Structure 1
Amino acid sequence: MLSSSLHKCLLALATLPACLAATNPLHCPPLGAVLPAPHTPSTNDKVKQAVQGLDQAMGKLTASLNFSAMSISVKSVHEKVNLFSKSYTPPTVDARSATKIDSDTVFRVGSVSKLFTMLGVLKLPGIDLNDPVTKFVPELKEVQEMAEADGLSQFRWDDVTLGALASHLSGMGSDFATDLSNFPQPWQKLGLPAANQSLMIECAGLLGLRPCNKTDFFKSFGHHPPVAAPFTNPAYSNVAYSLLAFVIENVSNMSYDAYMHKEVLDPLSLKHTSTGGKPPVNDSQGFIPKGDIWWGATLGFEDPAGSYYSSANDLLTLAEALLTNKLLTPVQMHKWMKPLTSTSSTGTQLGAVWEIYRSDNLTSDQRFIEVYTKSGDLGSYHAQIVLIPDYDLVFSITLGGNETSGGMAQEILSAITTTLLPALETAGKDEAAKTFAGTYSDNSTNSTLTLKIDDGPGLVVDKWVMHGVDVPANYHSFNALGSMPANIPLSIRVYRTSLKSDKQWSWRAVFEVGLAAERAKHDAAVFWAKGSCVTWGSEDRIVYQHKALDEFVFDVCDGTASGVLPRIFQTKLRRTA
C-alpha cells in the first residue's frame, strides 16, 4: 500500500485544494469534456508544479522498495514527449533480470492482456458483440451437456454473447486451472471430501504441472456450475477471454499469436510486447524479482486473458493509438468506450474490458470525470493502462515485486489522476481563454456575444444580444407550449461537443435556470445523487426551423475560433476581441 508520506506529499500539492473546494452545485454540464483538452500542457506552470510534486511523491514511495521495481509513463496525445516518466531499479534483483529499469523494461502485465484480446475481437470482420458465442465456438453446446441437469449447474451457452463475455456478464466462473485439487495439499484436513479422479484437471502451467490446452477445457469445464445467470450480476472471468481468443482463431483462421501480431502488435511496433508463453526479449531486458516463479510461466490456453509481457512505453503507445484512432474508427472507439454494467462499487462501472472509475472530486466544479482503465495482476507483477478522454491523457504503470502488492498500482493511478487533472483543468482553461473566449460581433445586425472563462465549467455567456434583442433577458419567452416566469435567475454556459470538422466545431449551451439553493432542496428530497442534474434530457429543446437555441457553431482555424454562428438566429458573428 502507499506510504503515509506519499499521501502527505500529495495533499500538500497546491493543485489539490482547488480541486476539492466547495462550489456552486447549480452547474450541470453534459457528461464528458467541457473544454478542448490542453494541447501544450507541459508549458503550463500549474502542470509543471504538479509534475514536480508527483515526481517527489514517487521518489518517496520507491525509497522504501528493496526488491521491487516500477516504471510509469504519462503523456498528452497532443505532445511528442512524455509529460511524466519515472522508473526505479531496486538494489536487489534476480540474477536473470535487467539491472537498470527504464520505460522499455519488460514486465508481466497480467490481465492487461485482456485489452489486447478485446481489441483483436473488435478488429475481426463481421463480428457483432450481440452474437452468441456458440455461433463461433459451437463445441460449447457439447460442454453444456456435461453438467448435472438440476437447473443450477448447466450453463446455457446460447444465451451468452460476445459482449457478455467481454463485460464479465456471462455468469461463468473466473478460472479453470486454479482448481485446488490440482495441487498436492492435505485438503481433507480442511474438511473437503476426497478428490474424484474423474474430475481432476491435472494441468495449470505452474508448480510442475503442464499448461492447460483447449482439449483440457472442453473435456471438463462443463462440470463447472455458473456463478449467475447471463446479464445479471457481473462476475470477473478469465476463462471468458480465453473463449474470445477461440473466437479470434475460428474467425480469422489464424493462430491467436499470429493474428494479434498482424492486427495489433506489429502495426504499432510493440517490440517489447508478447502474447504470453515466453517474453519478447532476453531475460536481461525484463525485470525479474529475486526468486520469482512467474517470469517465463505460461497459462496455456488462458494466456490471452493474463499472460502478456509488455513495457510501460508499449502500453503507452497502445493507449495513445486508441485515443487517436490509429486502430479503430472514431465510431468504433466511441461505441467501445462505454459502460455496460454497474458494480457494487458506486464509483466503478464495467465496459467490454474496461474498468471505469467515475469521480466528482477531481475538478473544482465537481463534475463527473470518467477514467478508463484495465488493470492486471500476475503473481508479483501488477500493471495499469489508463485513458482519460476528457483530457486526452494516457498513462501506464508497470510494477514487479512482492512489495508492490496490496493495491499499490491502483493507488499510484489515483495519485497521478488527482495530482495532474486539476492542473490540466487549469491548462485547458488558460488555452480556451485564448482560443475561444472573447467577444464576437456583427455590427450590421446589432448582434454581440461575449464568452468568458471563470471558475466554473466550460465557457460562460457574459453578454448575448441578437438583432438588438437581449437573449438571456428574454429566455422565458422562447416557449410556445407553456409558461415561464420572467426575471428568473439564469446562467448560460457553453460546452464543446464531439461534432467537429476541419474548420467548424459545434458547441452546446446549458441554460441553468433558478438558484443553487432550489436545486439543493430538490436534491435533498430525492434518494439518488444529483437528482436535479438532468442536462441529458434538456438539450435541443428550444428549436426554430430545425435550428436549436443551444447550438453554437464556431469557425476554427489552427485550433482558434475566428467566428461563431448561434444556429437558431442564422447570423454569423466575427471575433473582435
Structure 2
Amino acid sequence: MAFQLLGYIIERRTGASFAKVVQERLLNPLRMNETTVFAPKNSTMGVIPVNETASGWSARTPGSEASTSMFSSIKDLAIAGQAILNSTLLSSSQTHRWLKPVSHTSNPKNSLGAPWIIYSGGEYPQTSMIDVYTILSNEGTNEGLYSSYVGLVPDYDIGYVILSADTVSPADLNVHADYMQVVLEGIIKTSINQAAQNFGGAYAASNLNSSITVKYDELPGLLIESFISNGTDFRETLANLVGVVNATDLSIRLYPNQLVQQHGSESKRAFRAVFQDKTELADAGTPTCVSWLDLDKFQYAGHGLDEFIFTLNPEGKAISLEIPALEVTLERKA
C-alpha cells in the first residue's frame, strides 16, 4: 500500500505516469535495459514457473505499478545498488541521509529505514557493527511465485541481489542471518588486509622531526602506534590532556567519518581520532559511548586534535597524512 501511494504522489507531482518517470529518471540514465514496469513484451529471457498466469508474470493489477509490477534482472539490480552506493543520481549528502535508520525496534539488531529493513551484524567490541540495508519483496504473499532480496552494506560499498521463482509459493529469502554470519566475517577480514595495504605504514614530515606509524589490527579503526610531533612524543601530550597517567596506556584509533573530497585524480578522506585509556572499562562501564563525547574537545589553531586527513592516490592508497591542528603534512614512506 505504501508504495502504491508513493506512485500516486509521484504521478501527481510530475504530471506523468509512474512508468514514464521511472523510465526517464532512473532506467535510462543508469542504462538498466533489462528492467520494466509490468512484464516485458519479450518473455524469452524470463524465468516463468508453471505458466504466465500462475506465476504472476502476466499480472497487471491497476495501481500496482509502484509496488509489485517491476521486472528486472540481477545485472540491473546490481547497477541500481552500485548507483545508490556511489551517489550516481543523488548527492552524497542525500545518500547519507537516505541510508540511515528512521526508527528502531525492540530487537537491537533490527531497525527500520525508508524503505529499508536494516540488520546489524558484527560482535562489538571485537568487531565493528555493520548495518545491512535490505529490501525484501513478495515473501509470504499470494501475488505470484517470485521473490527478490536486495541488500546494501554502505560501510564496505558492497551489496547482493537474490532473485527467485518457485512452482508452489514465493521462496523464503530471509537469508540475512546466514549472510551476516558467513559473508560479513570474510568481509571484515578482507577489509583489515586492504586497510593495512592502503593506510598502514610510516608517515614523516620532510622538514620537521614529526612522524606517525599507522597500523591495523583485529579491532575497529586504524591504530596509531607511534606519534612524534617536532621531536616530542605527542602521545604523552595527549595522555596529559585526556587524563591518562601512563602514556603507554593511551589508545589512539582513527575512524573514517565519510567526509571525502576529490582533488583531480586524488582524493582526501577525513578520519577522527578516539583517545581512550586501555586500562579503563569500555565507556567507563556505562551504556553511553563516552569516548565520542570528546570529539573536538581538544583544539589548537582552530582545529580539533582528533582531526586527521589522508590524501589517496587514484588506486585508493594513502600517500600523505595531514594533521590540521599541528599544521603539518606527513608523507607516507615506502
| TM-score normalised per structure 1 | 0.52
Map Cα deviations across residues 7-49 of structure 1 (whole Å, 9 max, x no partner).
xxxxxxxxxxxxxxxxxxxxxxxxxxxxxxxxxxxxxxxxxxx
Give distance in 2, aligned partners of 1:404 and 1:368. 34
The answer to whether structure 1 residue 379 and structure 2 residue 144 are counterparts is yes
Q: How far did residue 281 of structure 1 move?
A: 4.2
Identify which of structures 1 and 2 has the higher relative contact order when contacts are C-alpha pairs closer than 8 Å and 6+ apart. 1
Does 2:13 correspond to 1:251?
Answer: yes
Q: Is the CA contact (8 Å cut-off) linking 2:152 and 2:160 kept in structure 1?
A: yes
Deviation at 1:240, TM superposition (A): 2.2
Q: Alignment partner of 2:6: what SS?
A: helix
Change in Cα spacing, 1:270 to 1:575, as seen in structure 2 (3 Å) is closer
List gaps (5 residues or longer) in structure 2: none
Q: Does residue 41 of structure 2 align to residue 284 of structure 1?
A: no
The residue number in structure 2 matching 1:492 is 252
Distance in structure 2 (CA, Å) of the matches to 1:565 and 1:427: 26
Matched, 1:441 2:201: no
Change (3 A) 1:241 1:443: closer
Match of 1:401 among 166, 187, 196: 166
Cα distance change of structure 1 residues 267 and 444 upon mapping to structure 2, 3 Å threshold? closer
Deviation at 1:426, TM superposition (A): 2.6
- Distance in 2, matches of 1:423 and 1:387, equals 16
Map of 1:515 onto structure 2: 279
Identity %: 29
Which whole-Å CA distance do the structure 2 matches of 1:402 and 1:534 have between them?
A: 54
Unaligned runs of 5+ in 1: 1-238, 524-530
Residues 271, 280 of structure 1: 8 Å contact kept: no
The offset of 1:511, in angstroms, is 1.0
C-alpha contact (below 8 Å) 2:147/2:171 kept by paired residues:
no
- The equivalences for 1:538-577 within 5 A come to 538-558=294-314, 559-577=316-334
Report the CA distance between 1:318 and its aligned residue: 0.9
Q: Distance in 2 between matches of 1:315 and 1:535?
A: 39
Distance 1:471-1:521 versus aligned 2 partners, 3 A rule = closer
What amino acid maps onto 2:196 in structure 1?
A
- 2:37 alignment partner, SS class: coil
Larger Rg: 1
Q: Which residue in the other structure is 1:49 paired with?
A: none
Q: Could you tell me how far 1:534 is from its partner in structure 2?
A: 3.9
* Aligned position for 1:122: none
Give the Cα separation in 2 of the matches to 1:271 and 1:485: 60
**Is 2:154 aligned against 1:389?**
yes
- 1:63-462, aligned counterparts within 5 Å? 239-276=1-38, 279-290=39-50, 292-361=54-123, 365-377=126-138, 378-402=143-167, 405=170, 407=172, 409-411=173-175, 413-442=176-205, 444-462=207-225
| Conservation of the 8 A alpha-carbon contact between 1:519 and 1:532 | no
Secondary structure of residue in 2 paired with 1:564? strand
Alpha-carbon distance, 1:520 to partner: 8.0
Shift of 1:499: 1.6
CA displacement 1:224-268 (0-9 Å, x = unmatched): xxxxxxxxxxxxxxx222221111111111111111111112222
Contact map agreement 1:364 1:455 (CA 8 A) in 2: no
After superposition, the Cα gap between the structure-2 partners of 1:293 and 1:436, relative to the gap in structure 1 and judged at 3 Å, is closer
Report the alpha carbon displacement of residue 476 of structure 1 after superposing the two structures with TM.
3.5
Shift of 1:405: 4.6
| Aligned counterparts of 1:268 and 1:319: Cα–Cα separation in 2 | 11
Residues 290-347 of structure 1, C-alpha deviation per residue, up to 9 Å, x if partnerless? 2524221123113312222111111111111111122212122111111111233332
Aligned position for 1:219? none
Larger fraction in helix: 1
Q: Which amino acid aligns with 1:369?
A: I
SS at match of 1:299: coil
Q: Quick one: distance in 1 between partners of 2:203 and 2:164?
A: 51
Q: 1:269 to 1:393 in 2, by over 3 A?
A: same
Letter in structure 2 aligned against 1:387: L
Output the amino acid matched with 1:576: K
Deviations 1:353-402 (A, max 9, x none): 111111224x8833210111111014321101111111111211001115
How far is the alpha carbon of 1:556 from its aligned partner?
A: 2.3
| Structure 1 residue matching 2:223: 3-state secondary structure | strand
Q: Find the counterpart in structure 2 of residue 42 from structure 1.
A: none
Q: What amino acid is the match of 1:383?
A: S
Cα distance between partner residues in 2 of 1:568 and 1:391? 29
Equivalent AA in structure 2 for residue 500 of structure 1: V
How many pairs align?
322
- In structure 2, the CA distance between the partners of 1:495 and 1:346, relative to structure 1 (3 Å rule), is closer
State how far apart, in whole Å, the 1-side matches of 2:155 and 2:41 are.
Answer: 35
Q: Which moved further from structure 2: 251-260 or 364-373?
A: 364-373
Whole-Å separation in 2 of the counterparts to 1:538 and 1:275: 50
The answer to whether structure 1 residue 506 and structure 2 residue 270 are counterparts is: yes
Displacement of 1:449 in angstroms is 0.7
